[in-house]
Chain A
Amino acid sequence: MDTSRFFLPGILLLGLLASGASLLARAASPQATNNQAALARQSSITFVGTVSQVAASALSAVPKSPQTIVVRVDSVLKKPAAVSLKKGDTVTVEVKDPAAFPEGMQATFYTEGWIFGSGVAVKELGHSAPPSGGAAETAEKPVEQAPSGISDQDLQRLLATCDYVVIGRVTDVHPWTVPKSASPRYRTSEHSANWQEAVLQVQSVLKGPKVKKNKVVVRFPLSRDVAWVSAPKFEPGQQGIFILQKDEVSGTSVGGYKADVYTCLKPGDWLPMTEEPRVRSLLKNR
């Protein structure tokens, strides 16, 4: 086949594509965008603000230092519901590179909370240029509340360290009778867990090897004590995504069931089915 007639137009097209990509890159590099997205996920408090003082602090509990600057909030993009922060407030920011923040500079600050008093002090995780359009664009807009349940970051950590992620349904719940061999470990305390066992019919395994007879036993605390308040509680018929750890709490195998025993103790270790796409996505992107 004679390909010469495609050669010149091909080169021209490639040239156009290359210059276009270069222009796009200058507008918003994908890498920069990815970094910002990662910072946004990682940060607990994100806001657009203008540097009002350098080497200063607006909170008496935070001594001023070359690393601390005071920033006037122009708009809040993300914060936990508990945190009081709004346009016009001042925030003390411990920055990584003070030279990058001259007075009057506006930026989007990706931060983690540090000290909470009459105002907020935060530590910079990163920053970026403010949204295009300048101050007009940073007028108050709906604030993204940090997830009240579990953030992507925390969920990713759970998924990475667990033994199993399964979708299943609870078929039975009953109290766990502590074997005599383990009873010295279960003396009376206000933190006593009141262990229960949920029998789980596994419908699909998202992480981990095949489950014997598609059945696992999940041991969980029914106690309302502060130690266990965040641990998921189960009822017969309950369906969802279970993030399971091999049981290291009791140290004993369960009587009556020829099934493996797991625990599900942390907030986020059980999720409703509506979270399936997020879990699958995070598992895929591990």
Chain B
Amino acid sequence: MRALPGYPTRALALTVLVVTAGTVFGRGQSPTAVRAGVVAPAHAKVVDLIPASLSGETNQDSEPFLAVQVANPQVMVASAFTPNPISSTGNAPVYVSEDAGNTWVLSGITPVQRMTCDITHAMSIGENHPRGDLHAGTLACAASITLDESESDDVSSSAVMKVQSSRTNVDQPFVRALAFSNVDHIYIGLNDLGQSSGRTATVDVSLDGGASYKSYSIESRKTMGQDGPSVRPAVAPDNTVYAAFFGWRKFNGSMATSDVVVVRDDTGATGSHPFQALKDPSDKLPGRLVVKRVSIPWSNAPTLGQERIGSTLSIAVDPNNSSTVYVGWADRGRKGDIYTLHVRRSTDRGLTWSKSDLPHTTISNATNIALAVANNGTAGFLYQQLSGGRWVTHVVQSRDAFATIQDTILATVPADRPLGQFLPYLGDYDYLLAVGNEFRGVFCANNTPDRANFPQGVTYQRAADFNTRTLTDGSGNPVTISIDPFYFSIPVMP
């Protein structure tokens, strides 16, 4: 049965427009935040990605990602740790939507067998490829970890993506792409563990649609032997490319002492020595130190609820004013906290940064930060917080550097169920991007069909009975709950 929860639920939406500063979410979801606010329904759309014909699946479909075809935003590709549903030797699949996220199909088009162990992707303008020109970075994890940088010029064709470049011993490929003069520029942040210098934060750059790649280390300082896993590029239409990474200076196995570093290139990394434009005044080396020597806990075991922690990082640039850039990360924060999010902003192309966290952006016991900036300058901030035994997924918007915010809760689900099958439980990241007058994104959550878990309402494609709060296999047999990927869209604040 397909369930379409009605809009009455939305009357209870927890969308809040906070009109005064001074409420620090880091101290929890204080009633003050609500008292100070004005309810402003955001009319978010939330869709469980699992198709009806896979209603019997019980996989932990964690770590979601999303790409939107800019020329035709009806076309989107999403991914998660979803295995090929029929074969251990078939290709790992992605989810494809051609109707702006209302419905999704699962299609095995990645070059990886069965399931990826990291996948991100991006679609550039794609005017010549109306059904989706997709660039993906996938990790295949068999005996060794292999990165494939691959392309499909029609995600709806069900043809397997063409591998354009391949190499081993890298981690967390993170793909961004933008078309310049009808040529796709692709930027893949990754941790190149094969770098003998220990300066492992790297951006792979292709200026010819993936036909060839050049690899650039963006770390200019000494490390403890490597940088942190997350290396995140952000691209502006004026050819400005930023990248953020964790410069690991010390590491004892459970705690990294890290700088949060931002580099910049003003010509789309087309020069011979890219990413050198931004130097830190302290040592004149490329890479501005947004914060120095913060403590970042590293735990490859369930630590924040059932989730592991160690490397969550995001960067976003204003598409119409590349001088404005936001960076967000997690560290230990205050004593007693497990993992605390922070967001800072620069309005001078990364030369100087806000001295402290932007208001309403210090979030304790939270992870999976994802930032985006809409065409009108509104900043979006997606995160997942462990609060009261539940994973609560927020998307926050602001026009004034988070002094006033609109906070929308997309999901609030039990954190202790289902039991994790592997790590990451929800993902080492989720994703947010701006498309026209919408923020669109993906997150993962417990898939119990319970309207109370989705304050904005939710649409399930898979068979679900919201009255009995049970999933079924399409023939009426109950199916155990699991982690599913959810797509959402929400209007950008005017």
A and B held together in a complex: yes
Query: Chain A residues in contact with chain B, CB under 8 A?
Result: 44-45, 59-62, 80-86, 112-120, 146, 150-151, 154, 157, 184-185, 187-192, 194, 223-229, 245, 248-249, 263, 265-268
Given A118-B51, A119-B53, A154-B88: A191 in contact with B117 (beta carbons within 8 A): yes
Could you list 30 A-B pairs, sorted by A, with CB under 8 Å? A59-B105, A60-B98, A61-B98, A61-B105, A62-B158, A80-B86, A82-B57, A83-B54, A83-B85, A83-B86, A84-B475, A112-B86, A114-B107, A114-B108, A115-B106, A116-B51, A117-B51, A117-B104, A146-B86, A185-B193, A187-B193, A189-B171, A190-B300, A190-B423, A191-B117, A225-B300, A227-B139, A228-B141, A248-B143, A268-B88
Residues A82 and B251 in contact, CB atoms below 8 Å apart: no
Check if B88 sits within 8 Å of A61, measured CB to CB.
no
Beta-carbon contact of B229 and A190 below 8 Å: yes
Q: Which residue of B lies closest to A247 (CB)?
A: B143
Q: Chain B 121-133, CB within 8 Å of chain A: the 1/0 string?
A: 0000000000000
Interface of A, secondary structure class, is loop
Residue of B nearest to A263 (CB): B143
Size class of the contact patch on chain B: 35 or more
Question: Please, which residue of chain B has its CB at the minimum distance from the CB of A91?
Answer: B53
Contact B85 A80 (CB under 8 A): yes
Known A83-B56, A84-B473; contact A191-B141, beta-carbon cutoff 8 A: yes
Residues of A within 8 A of B156 (CB): 61
Asked if B169 and A116 make an inter-chain contact with CB atoms under 8 angstroms apart, the answer reads no
Which of B89, B115, B422 interacts with A157 by CB under 8 Å? B89
Q: Is there contact, CB below 8 Å, between B144 and A249?
A: yes
Given contacts A117-B52, A189-B191, A265-B143, A84 and B463 within 8 Å (CB-CB) = yes
Contact of B143 with A229 in the complex, beta carbons under 8 Å: no
Residue of A nearest to B200 (CB): A187
Cross-chain contact of A82 among B56, B104, B107 (Cβ < 8 A): B56
CB-CB contacts below 8 Å: B92-129 with A: 96, 98, 103-108, 115, 117-118
Which residues of B (24-62) have their CB < 8 Å from a CB of A? 51-59, 62
Chain B interface residues (CB < 8 Å from chain A):
51-59, 62-63, 81, 85-90, 96, 98, 103-108, 115, 117-118, 139, 141-145, 156, 158, 169, 171-172, 191, 193, 196, 200, 225-226, 229, 251, 298, 300-301, 308, 310-311, 420-424, 428, 461, 463, 473-475
B229 touches A81 (CB 8 A): no
User: B207 to chain A: closest CB distance in Å?
Assistant: 28
Question: What residue in chain B is nearest A149 (Cβ atoms)?
Answer: B88
In the complex, the answer to whether B106 meets A116 with C-beta atoms within 8 Å is: yes
Chain A residue numbers with a CB within 8 Å of B193 are 185, 187, 189
